[in-house]
Structure 1
Amino acid sequence: MKLSIPAILAAALLSGCTTAYSSTVEVTRFVGEAPAALGRGSIEVRLGATEAAAPAFAPGSFEAPAFRTAVAQELQRLGYQVVDGGGDQVAELWLDRAVDRPGPQRSPVSVGVGGSTGSYGSGVGLGVGINLGGSGPREVIDRQLRVVIRPAAGGQALWEGRARFDATGNSDFADPQAAADRLARALFGDFPGRSGETVEVE
């Protein structure tokens, strides 16, 4: 069976595509000395004061509302009454985001045109070269969400948790809202969790 040149090119381009990927979510939590105070009363969700100017949470950033909303929804599910201010407790959020952008890669397809003259006449040939290695991985986004719950009046933290995962730029979880929802669900699943234990969540 002979394939046309467009069919060969299409197959080559498809072979160069990078499959979407996202890792499991790595979750670590620490429970304070008053676990009975968790999951009840009113709570305010706000950015961590020392890192409010971080790029992901900078003023006007479209990521900050996504993570605030995701965390607030999980806290409500746990039994908290989420308020804009004056709550019994405060949930402080930090987000660390890193993007790995690979350097330029060789194109997965090369096309060459050649002419020849021989004893059987002249002709023109079209050659297609395929780099089976593909065009290299797409950018990889690594996000980590950290949440600390403490009494609004101050004092020791009641609970702290961190969740992180990475995903390629063509994954559904490259979207900030999807990433926020996934991290928040993993972080607050089986709340408050075993103190100091790190688990992997699908």
Structure 2
Amino acid sequence: MNRKSLLFCALLIGVPGSVQAQGYPGGGWDRPMMNQRLRGDDGRRMAEPAKKVDVEAFRAADAATLLGKGPITVAAAPGAEAEWKLPVYEAAVVDQLAKLGYDTAVSGAEGGQVAQIGITHDVVVPEEVKRKPVSGAMEVGVSNRGSYSALALNVDLSKPRKAIVSTRLDVRIRDKASGRVLWEGHAEAQTREDDDGLNNGAVAARLASALFARFEDAAEVPPVG
């Protein structure tokens, strides 16, 4: 016996016998008394993450000849989120810096530059609340053809969908000796949180790739003073 048959039998046990014998309003006697719907959701339009990656990048007007070469180290920006959220983003940024021509293999070098990383997360759409797997409504009435009973059943076996989260990657490249900002930018995108949480390597790679695609054509910022 399949699932639909089991559900039908269970409903007949719990519904008065008159349900099987009475007519259905507006139709013949052979019309079904039960409207059973098997759905994957409760009928609401579910929000989906925006596909676009928003990017902004800025470069010091006199820094063009200094960028994209020499040793560079990567570190968390002051006030950045907990360290456990940074490793996959650090790896993605290091990969992009190496492609640009930086020497990322040098660790602890006194000179050169430093790329400071910051990660922030904001919930755009909260996680769905857990829904009842079975719900329904019963209607009893009287028409010119006699009394009737009708039952509508909704079976929802789907899991609540995870939250949609906006993740922003900020990178600021400074000259180590002077502390001067040579380049900075950020990339932001929406994703649905998965079972691995927010420490997602695919998200990190997507943001870093989009951000450093703007490395050379970043808007120039005139020197202060």
Fold similarity call, TM over 0.5 = yes
Q: Secondary structure at the match of 1:81?
A: coil
Q: CA deviation at 1:126?
A: 4.0
SS at match of 1:24: coil
Q: Aligned runs of 1:159-178 on 2, under 5 Å?
A: 159-169=183-193, 176-178=200-202
- Counterpart CA distance in 1 for 2:150 and 2:129 is 27
Unaligned runs of 5+ in 1: 198-202
- Which has the greater radius of gyration? 2
Contact 1:88-1:152 within 8 A present in 2 as well? yes
The SS at the match of 1:13 is coil
Q: Kindly, what percent of the aligned residue pairs are identical? A: 29
Q: Which residue of 1 aligns with 2:112?
A: 88
**8 Å Cα contact 2:57/2:218 also seen in 1:** yes
Q: CA separation in 1, counterparts of 2:98 and 2:66? A: 15
Shift of the 155–129 alpha-carbon distance from structure 1 to 2, 3 Å rule, reads closer
Can you give the 5+ residue segments of structure 2 that lack an aligned partner in the other structure?
A: 8-35
2:75 is equivalent to residue 51 of structure 1: no
Which of 111, 126, 130 is the aligned partner of 1:102? 126
Whether contact under 8 Å (2:128, 2:161) holds in the other structure is no
In the TM superposition, residue 106 of structure 1 has moved relative to its aligned partner by 9.2
Aligned to 1:200: none
The Cα shift of 1:128 comes to: 2.2
User: CA contact under 8 A between 1:18 and 1:138: conserved in structure 2?
Assistant: no
Alignment counterpart, residue 152 of structure 2, candidates 127, 130, 135: 127
- For 2:63, give the aligned amino acid: A
Query: Residues of 2 paired with 1:104 and 1:167: CA distance?
Result: 15
User: As a proportion of its length, which structure holds more helix?
Assistant: 1
Q: Which residue of 1 aligns with 2:29?
A: none
Match of 2:56 among 28, 31, 46: 28
Identify the match of residue 76 of structure 1 among 98, 118, 127. 98
SS of equivalent residue, structure 1 residue 191: coil
Alignment RMSD (CA, Å): 4.2
TM-score, with length taken from structure 2: 0.63
The answer (yes or no) to whether the contact 1:67–1:181 under 8 Å persists in 2 is yes
Q: What amino acid is the match of 2:153?
A: V
| Larger deviation, residues 153-162 vs 104-113 | 104-113
Cα 1:105–1:46 change in 2 (3 A) is closer
Give 3-state SS (helix, strand or coil) of 1:158's partner.
Answer: strand
TM-score of the superposition, structure 1-length normalised?
A: 0.70
